[in-house]
Structure 1
Amino acid sequence: MFEKELGGGKVEQILRPVYQERASLPDTLSVLLIENQREDDPITDTFDTILFIITSNNEVPIQTKHYTDGKLKAAMHIISEKQLTHWLLVGTNKKIIDWLVLGKIYFDRDEYAERLKQQLSAEPLFGRNIKMGMELAKMIRAYNEGKIHFERKRYMDAYLRAINSLHHLARLVAIKANTLPEETVWSQMKKIDPAVYKLYEELIGSEEAVEKRLDLVFLASEFFIHNYTNEASEHLLGILNKKESWNIQELHEREELSLYSSDLEFFIEYLVDKQLIETVSVPSKNDLLFHREYRLARALKTM
């Protein structure tokens, strides 16, 4: 653990008592200070200073307070360790990464923030494997739903699912390239994978009949899903390999697997179909029924 005195900036001096109070609490892990670089700095949400506090107390995920001395303004954000991990894995709050990378550390219990900084430096895309798995699971669901609509000639419903499927494909491709997907992910695709961008362009801009465009997209999607399955399932398969077999409730209760949300069971069934996961029948209280559990395919264990 180390502490560092706040500098001589006016806002920093005003925040000193707040910082000292929080640093004295046993559940405070780290205190970082982020200063704006310009008046409308988006990193600090236009505030002059951000006091970013990480706590091991997970009861309240986010606490926020605003301060002012009449001229300058500051914001204090207290984020639970669990919430921080969730944001880093899901990648929905890029600002948090900026705060960790750019923030000055003023208090650090057991070098918690310093180790996070080092990890982000070595692995800019935090939780790359689980991010790939989540995007593939979402892509497969959108593809399957779209294919059903397509086969039933409900082309506009199929079109919406195809757009969604390609969106998750683009995010998956960006993650595979160790790049955080942006909101403008298709601009990224022009540089990262022009073939994927071309597929999207054909779907939304081609003068071909919508039926032909959808047929092309679903054929291509099937190809991409097949190519990415092994790599994008590594995270889930790695968890399954930690013990002999798992029931579905145990898998739902694994904190990192909860990020898959409603796509988890769909993804598991897909991997069962691809023979990467095996099912195990376990006796239940009812002699006519068995519990269905899941394990890593034996063929993978011997590889």
Structure 2
Amino acid sequence: MTKTGTDLHGTGTFIDTRFGQIYYETEGEGPPVFLVSGGPGTGHAHYHPWFSALADRHQLVYFDNLGAGRSVRMDDPTDYNLANYAEVIEALRKALGFEKISLIGLSFGSLPALAYAVTFRQHIAALVISNGHFSAQTWQQGNIDNMNYEVRQLFPEIWAEIMALRDQGVLSSDMRIQALYGRALGELFWVDPWDHPGLFRPEGAEEADNFDVYRAFVGDDPEWEVTGTLKGFNPTAQLADFDVPTLIVSGRYDRITPPSIAVQIKEALPVAPVTLEIFERSAHRPWVEEADLYFECVSAFLEDIDG
């Protein structure tokens, strides 16, 4: 009997890379689709069972990149960078014997997906950027500046506590400030924070989010300014002639990667056949909040590419 959804989780295996072991799981049969997880520092588990909707016609490859989920932890935090993340995707493609793959970059995962597109374009059949970012600048705009605006406006009592700590010289990587943001941000990911499906979060230390990865990518003051290994990333010039079919997905009420960022991404791909879809009753996770419409859209796009 074929395992699906959450039944899959924990039944995968590892490949060896020059960094160490990378964990992955597969589901379904057909043209390969790699899910590039958000975060950074978050494993793939919460995409179960939602993306099983694509497994009837595609082979899904779920994986944990460096430092996330069950994959190897790096001793040097600067090893958590987009070039290495793209190299992990390529190592996995080679290990599984695929000539071409489609990538779905989810939230932060769009950045390593784009880094892969810059270096390994010949191996991409299609690209989906799902509520994703394009550059260090869009991360600053969405995850930092826009989110701080939302917290300041909607949770002024929390903002006052954050600013009191900052006035003492405390950086936003400090767990006291992280805990304050956590009280607000959980509600800002959804259109309706009181009525939405829960996400699969398996127990165990290896499944927990790895804050070291987040801090390495974004910096020591990650809710204020991009200063980590993500700093300066902007693939606009390298993708000026990118001609791979691309689907860009956004949620109308996404406060982290709002539709304005989706439009910037579309404009940065002047040659590629690009489709932009905005889901009207979604925030950051249309794959949960409008699952039927989302997977109809993504399935139709991928099947059109598959021919």
**TM-score, normalised via structure 2 length:** 0.28
> Which structure dedicates a bigger proportion of its chain to helix?
1
Return the structure number with greater relative CO, CA threshold 8 A, min gap 6: 2
Q: Which has the larger radius of gyration?
A: 1
**TM-score, normalised via structure 1 length:** 0.28
